[in-house]
Amino acid sequence: MSDSTIESVLQEQRVFEPPAAFSEKARIPSMEAYQKLYDEAAADPAAFWAKLAEQELDWFEKWDTVLDWQPPVAKWFVGGKSNISYNCLDRHLKTDKKDKTALIWEGEPGDSRSLTYTELHAEVCQMANVLKDMGVRKGDRVGLYMPMVPEAAIAMLACTRIGAAHTVIFGGFSSEALRDRLNDAEAKVVITADGGFRKDKPMGLKPAVDAALADNAVPSVTNVLVVQRTKQAVDWTAGRDVWWHDVKPDASTDCPAEPMDSEALLFILYTSGTTGKPKGVVHTTAGYNLYTHMTFKWTFDIKEDDIYWCTADVGWITGHSYIVYGPLSNGATTVMYEGAPRPSNPGAFWDVIEKYKVSIFYTAPTAIRAFMKMGDKEPNARDLSSLRILGTVGEPINPEAWMWYRKVIGGDNCPIVDTWWQTETGGFMLTPLPGATPTKPGSATKPFPGILADVVDTEGNPVGVNEGGYLVVKHPWPSMMRTVYGDDARFRRTYWEHIPPKDGQYFYFAGDGARKDEDGYFWVMGRTDDVLNVSGHRLGTMEIESALVSHPAVAEAAVVGRKDELKGEDVYAFVTLENRYSASDELKTELKQHVVKEIGAIARPGEIQFTDALPKTRSGKIIRRFLRNLASDEEVVGDATTMEDQSVLEKLRQGS
């Protein structure tokens, strides 16, 4: 966040009560009701979750132990058996929901499709049977590299149905990134499409899969299941590649859901951390199901007739928890949109809301800021009166954008839920409940019932009112990540050792800075580590640095975030070159392209600055703080006397 934003947040005094008419009908209708739930949960979290697990989910076998907590390893609902695909589909078929629309899909060039719960169930069973025919078994991993089409959700539900874990790799990642992730997960099958549509243009996905698998680079993969979307020509590897439309007609629509242990691996989702290697965040079956179910139900106050739309991509945790599993477990109607707003169609989002009478809309601050910049004309020209709740996620929202969202999109009448959470947390951690919580622009307000969050110093002591500190969680919750796939030590180190346990109290360290105000409202200030948040996408600076130094011209690279009005942050790279190379605009372009090849377009540096040297401490550590200041054209703050070579800063300031 920029200093001016921090200042405006600190001065933020506005409070918006939920509209009375909204609260009257809400599931959690008042702060008293919230507080009662919160207190009940805080007094005995395990009992609180056990009661909900009983009420809200179907089980093949009940658990014996609600919570087995051997810090930092938590096991929830031990001994129980359930299946998330069953809870998202089969159980609804026994009710009136069987003919309800489960999924509405709006495709980019105007295609659309909708599936009822019965239809979705049938297709999921068919794909599950195809996966079984390919030899996928309980415990295996399946990689998904998909555009935003119904088959992406179908594939996820098909995997979990048979007890195979999916690992979805965002379609914007390059073949190199795809290969690394498939190898780490040792995926048996990859589900992909010929391509997808992005901003009016078809783009290929299958070619990236081919490149990732070339020369047997991912030996675990035996088959590739390909959905036809764009009808682009694709290369074909006989014996390995299978068209979905070829095998679907013969696949049975019956495939019983596999009873899964509560702690069985559900999915792996790779996310950026502070080292060069992305980490596979592990989520397991029952706890994740329960927590995404409850947070979706209460935070979005879901009602039978709601049409819910989350604009995220299924390649991110938001898509997992709040396009697919949370909504479907609740038997809601979830909208999936393939496109993105673009210059040729700046009203695209508002058209979707108007067309489907969307009542709950969930998007990211970066999108809101982009729309705000485009002006009120487009949204004002649509009927957005179906909306009743607005949500945001991904980064701190600046109060100006929050106010615009409320007024122009929500007609001053829709509660805004600013949800703070992470890939690691599985579901919302800090969030208003729309019928209960008075909101303040820029604050994610209060913890969800059952979440014991705090802001502490490096020793775990709570900091004072309005003092900055580290955001932590002090008690396990059902959808917390269980480990880093294949690397328990990294899990402990990254999340549980930053703030050492004290008197038996463990602290889950989120990596975010925050403060709590006089009303106990949390204000998340952003990452405190070397993770960037570019348009709500998480990127590790080390990952981008590794990509840069893998180019022969680069000797050293240091990547920092530069403040950006629209994206929140942009990637700014300082690069020193090997002697035989000299700086040029062509080389800049080439290096940017190299990062795109290594990681994907989301990581493309906005700016590369060549320099003869990087500012370092006497022990040789790059002083990133200075670089961040330089990138954002700010005064360099802090003590420069520890620097090895004082002239480096001056040179950098002059742009070399």
Site string for ligand WTA, 597-636 (x = CB under 6 A): ----------------------------------------
Between 356 and 508, whose beta carbon lies closer to ligand WTA? Answer: 508
Q: What does the per-residue mask of binding to ligand WTA show for 305-344, with x meaning CB under 6 A?
A: -----------xxx--------------------------
**Residue choice 310, 393, 455, 534 for contact with ligand WTA (CB under 6 A):** 393
- CA 349 to each of CA 39, 320, 372, 412, 650: distance values in angstroms, whole numbers, following the listed order: 39, 21, 13, 19, 46
What are 629-634's contacts with CB under 8 Å, separation 24+? Answer: 631/560, 631/561, 631/562, 631/572, 631/574, 631/607, 632/2, 632/562, 632/563
Window 526 to 555, contacts with ligand WTA (CB under 6 A): 526-527, 533, 538
CA 392 to CA 401: how far, in whole Å? 11
Q: Is 140 exposed, middle or buried (0-12, 13-18, 19+ CB in 10 A)?
A: buried
Tell me the closest approach of the beta carbon of residue 395 to ligand WTA, in angstroms. Answer: 5
CB of 513 to ligand WTA, least distance (A): 9
Nearer CB in complex with ligand WTA: 341/511: 511
Residue with the CB atom nearest ligand WTA in the bound state? 423
> Per rule CB under 6 A, is residue 295 in the interface with ligand WTA?
no
DSSP 230: S
Which CB sits closer to ligand WTA, 48 or 495?
495
Nearer to ligand WTA, 347 or 536 (CB): 536
CA distance readout (Å), 544 to 444, 550, 577, 591, 631: 30, 10, 16, 11, 16
Nearer to ligand WTA, 117 or 477 (CB): 477
CB nearer ligand WTA, residue 295 or residue 546: 295
Give the relative orientation of helices 117-133 and 150-161 as an angle to the nearest 10 degrees.
60
Token duo for residue 382: 């649509």
CB nearer to ligand WTA: pick between 223 and 533: 533
Instruction: Please choose, out of 4-12, 232-240, 414-422, 579-587, the segment that lies near ligand WTA by the rule CB under 6 A.
Output: 414-422
Of 180, 181, 209, 182, nearest to 194 by C-alpha is 209
CB 471, min distance to ligand WTA, A: 8
Q: How is 331-398 classified by DSSP, letter by letter?
A: T-EEEEE----BTTBTTHHHHHHHHHT-SEEEE-HHHHHHHHHH-SHHHHTS--TT--EEEE-SSPPP
Is the preceding omega at residue 72 within 30 degrees of 0, hence cis?
A: yes
* C-alpha distance from residue 280 to each of 95, 181, 185, 260, 268 (Å): 37, 8, 8, 21, 6
Tell me how crowded residue 529 is: count the other CB atoms within 10 A of its CB. Answer: 16
Q: Does the footprint of ligand WTA cover residue 210 (CB under 6 A)?
A: no
Give dist(CA 472, CA 87) in Å, integer.
31
- Residues annotated in a binding site for CoA: 198-201, 318, 535
Q: Smallest gap, in angstroms, from Cβ of residue 410 to ligand WTA?
A: 17
> Contacts with ligand WTA: how many residues (CB under 6 A)?
23
Binding mask 433-472 for ligand WTA (x = CB under 6 A): -----------x----------------------------
Binding annotation: 198-201, 318, 394-396, 418-423, 512, 527, 535, 538, 549, 551, 554
Whichever of 9 and 587 has its CB closer to ligand WTA, that residue is 9
Kindly indicate which of the ranges 301-309, 496-504, 520-528, 635-643 contains the residues binding ligand WTA, using the contact rule CB under 6 A. Answer: 520-528
C-alpha 446/C-alpha 266 separation (Å) is 28
Report the alpha-carbon distance of residue 627 to residue 622 in Å, rounded. Answer: 9
Which of 419, 437, 479, 546 lies at the binding interface for ligand WTA (CB under 6 A)?
A: 419
Token pair for residue 586?
């062509």
Among 267, 421, 485, 522, the residue binding ligand WTA under the rule CB under 6 A is 421
Task: State yes or no: residue 515 binds ligand WTA (CB under 6 A).
Answer: no
Query: For strand 223-227 and strand 469-473, is the pairing parallel, antiparallel, or unpaired?
Result: unpaired
Minimum CB distance to ligand WTA, residue 335 (Å): 19
Contacts of 343 (CB under 8 A, 6+ apart): none
- At its nearest, how many Å lie between ligand WTA and the CB of residue 217? 27
The phi and psi torsions of 37 (rounded to 5 degrees) equal -65, -45
Token pair listed for 7: 């200042």
Question: Segment contacting ligand WTA (CB under 6 A): 382-390, 494-502, 521-529, 597-605?
Answer: 521-529
Tell which one of 119, 184, 418, 545 touches ligand WTA (CB under 6 A).
418
Residue 420 makes contact with ligand WTA by CB under 6 A: yes
Q: Which is nearer to ligand WTA, 428 or 610 (CB)?
A: 428
Decide if residue 363 touches ligand WTA (CB under 6 A).
no
362/371 with CB nearer ligand WTA: 362
Contacts of residue 374, defined as CB under 8 A and 6 or more positions apart, other chains included, come to 346
Q: Which of 622, 618, 638 shows the shortest CA–CA distance to 542?
A: 622
Contact positions vs ligand WTA (CB under 6 A):
271, 316-318, 393-396, 418-423, 444, 510-512, 524, 526-527, 533, 538
